[in-house]
Amino acid sequence: MPSARFQVDGPLELARTLAPLRRGLGDPTLRLERNRCVRATRTADGAATVALELRGSVLHAEAWGPGAERALAGVPALAGLDDDRTGFVAHHPLVAELDRVYRGVRIGRSGAVLESLVPAILEQKVTGEEARTAFRGLVRRYGEPAPGPAELRLRLPPSPERLAALPYYEFHPFGVERRRADVIRRVAARAAWFEAIVELPLETAYARLTALPGLGPWTAAEVAVRALGDADAVSVGDYHLPGLVSRALAGDRDGDDARMLALLEPYRPQRGRVIRLLESAGSALWGGRPA
């Protein structure tokens, strides 16, 4: 069982940093505690389970499975240890306060494109709970037990080969209609082409993420912030996000995408970081000082 240790410079909130990778509290592929995370993933070398634990200023990692070494090599990126804050200026007092309170929330990158892309497709035009239910169902039916100790009870997400081979009607028991099922099947059939975007410039990566029918700017941004660590990602077309940004930064209750983008423009190229701070605060934004 390979292991590694990484020195952490500055604060790190491990659970909040990795929270965007979790698809609901019952996600079978990920377990999050305040200073510990265990994640099942597929790498280019094979399946892996990686466990992270923050002890003081040292991040301890151990991994299992054929992809263990590659998973360990990806830990600094996953945990945001190389998060680049260049260009970030807290223009708004609330943003400055949230950046002070949540300085340990970093923008990480998983490098696992399909593992962000498939759940994003499931989330298109449905409620969050519907999407999470569909994801859990697919993992439990078509995933496999993850490497590592049995007590971890994690499962791997379904392989691209398995998803591409499924007929569209096999998605129906999970509440996924033919349109989203077909998009997932097409994406899975071109998995290597999509996974390769981790080596591409962001502009080219976004172009590839929107190259197939059924993949738009919202889906691309949801993938880019998770898999590529794009600190400027903005999910245009999101149901809740414009209201959150507009209310927090301008006191507007009915903001739309145009209003959101205008309010976030001064923060370019770190607009996604502002969004992450607002989402980290959550309901504390409306109930007093964040804690």
CA distances from residue 148 to 48, 59, 154 in whole angstroms, order as listed: 8, 19, 9
What pLDDT does residue 143 have?
98
User: Domain for residue 44, yes or no?
Assistant: yes
How many angstroms separate the CA atoms of 163 and 157, rounded? 10
74/120 same-domain check? no
List pLDDT tens digits, range 253-267. 889 999 999 999 999
75/159 same-domain check? no
121/49 same-domain check? no
User: Domain for residue 128, yes or no?
Assistant: yes
78/117 same-domain check? no
How many angstroms separate the CA atoms of 192 and 289, rounded? 45
**39: phi > 0 → left, psi -120 to 50 → alpha, else beta; which?**
beta
| CATH number of the domain enclosing 183 | 1.10.340.30
**Tokens 């507007």, residue located:** 252
17/119 same-domain check? no
65/167 same-domain check? no
What is the helix (H) or strand (E) element at residue 52, kind and residue range? Answer: strand 46-55
188/137 same-domain check? yes
How many angstroms separate the CA atoms of 186 and 165, rounded? 10
**Tokens 């952490």, residue located:** 8
User: Domain for residue 55, yes or no?
Assistant: yes
What pLDDT does residue 289 have?
46
User: Domain for residue 283, yes or no?
Assistant: no
User: Are the beta carbons of 219 and 120 closer than 8 angstroms?
Assistant: yes
User: Are the beta carbons of 42 and 161 closer than 8 angstroms?
Assistant: no
* Domains held by the chain: number: 2
What pLDDT does residue 1 have?
81
User: Domain for residue 247, yes or no?
Assistant: no
| CATH number of the domain enclosing 8 | 3.30.310.20
At residue 127, the 3 state secondary structure works out as coil
Q: What are phi and psi of 67, to 5 degrees?
A: -95, 15
Out of 61, 82, 103, a domain closes at 82
78/127 same-domain check? no
162/76 same-domain check? no
User: Domain for residue 196, yes or no?
Assistant: yes
213/169 same-domain check? yes
User: Domain for residue 125, yes or no?
Assistant: yes
Helix axes 178-189, 113-122, angle to 10 degrees: 170
How many other CB atoms are found less than 10 A from the CB of residue 145? 15
How many other CB atoms are found less than 10 A from the CB of residue 141? 14
How many angstroms separate the CA atoms of 250 and 222, rounded? 24
Query: Considering the entire predicted model, what is its pTM?
Result: 0.94
User: Domain for residue 72, yes or no?
Assistant: yes
User: Are the beta carbons of 110 and 67 closer than 8 angstroms?
Assistant: no
List pLDDT tens digits, range 30-87. 999 989 999 999 999 999 999 999 999 999 999 999 999 999 999 999 999 999 999 9
- Nearest C-alpha neighbor of 256 from the set 271, 239, 234, 281: 239
53/133 same-domain check? no
131/198 same-domain check? yes
Domain hosting residue 218, numbered range: 113-145+153-228
How many angstroms separate the CA atoms of 73 and 69, rounded? 6
Ranges of residues in the chain whose predicted pLDDT is under 50: 288-291
**Tokens 């998973």, residue located:** 71
